[in-house]
């Protein structure tokens, strides 16, 4: 009886462990495309994301900024960067930095939190939700 109980427990353990699914990380290609954005600054706009290796280019973040971001799985990082006349149609100079997370069963939701600083030196915190 003891042997049978141990066998059943081992069998159950193997079944339980093998049935667990690991969550899939996003690839760079999951970020690429046109996103519909709702932002706490400018309500609704479209942002386009392109990729070169693991570096993303976000065109029209906050409806006027072109920024780069690095990707690691489901996370993106906007390193501190200075925007000028070629990277900002909102005026310049600005600095920007932030981070984001992609989620959803088809990686179709992107949350980004970022800070924009102008000449005053006071950062303005922003966030947006993008879907595709």
pLDDT in tens, 106-124: 999 999 999 999 888 999 9
Strand partners, 48: 34, 59
Residue 6, pLDDT above cutoff 90: no
Q: Where are the alpha helices (DSSP H) in the chain?
A: 2-19, 28-31
For the full predicted model, state whether its pTM sits above 0.85.
no
pLDDT digits (tens, 9 = 90+) for 41-80: 768 999 999 999 999 999 999 999 999 999 999 999 999 9
Tokens of 88: 């900002």
> Residue 93's closest CA among 102, 82, 106?
82
**Which own/partner contact pairs does 91-95 have at CB distance under 8 Å and 24+ positions apart?**
93/118, 93/119, 94/65, 94/118
- pLDDT for 83 equals 92
The residue ranking higher by pLDDT, 10 or 66, is 66
Backbone phi and psi for residue 52, each to the nearest 5 degrees, phi listed first: -140, 105
Range scoring the smallest mean pLDDT among 3-7, 65-69, 127-131: 3-7
Give yes or no for a contact between 61 and 45, defined as CB atoms under 8 angstroms apart: no
Tokens of 85: 């006349």
- pLDDT for 2 equals 55
């Amino acid at each position: 009886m003891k042997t049978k109980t141990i066998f059943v427990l081992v069998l159950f353990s193997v079944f339980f462990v093998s049935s667990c699914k690991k969550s899939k990380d996003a690839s760079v290609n999951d970020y690429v495309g046109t996103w519909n954005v709702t932002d706490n600054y400018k309500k609704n706009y479209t942002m386009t994301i392109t990729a070169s290796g693991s570096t993303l280019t976000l065109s029209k973040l906050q409806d006027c900024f072109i920024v780069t971001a690095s990707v690691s799985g489901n996370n993106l990082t906007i390193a501190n960067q200075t925007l000028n006349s070629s990277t900002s149609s909102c005026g310049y100079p600005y600095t920007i930095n932030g981070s984001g997370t992609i989620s959803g069963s088809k990686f179709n939701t992107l949350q980004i939190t970022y800070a924009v600083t102008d000449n005053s030196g006071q950062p303005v915190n922003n966030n947006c939700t993008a879907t595709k």
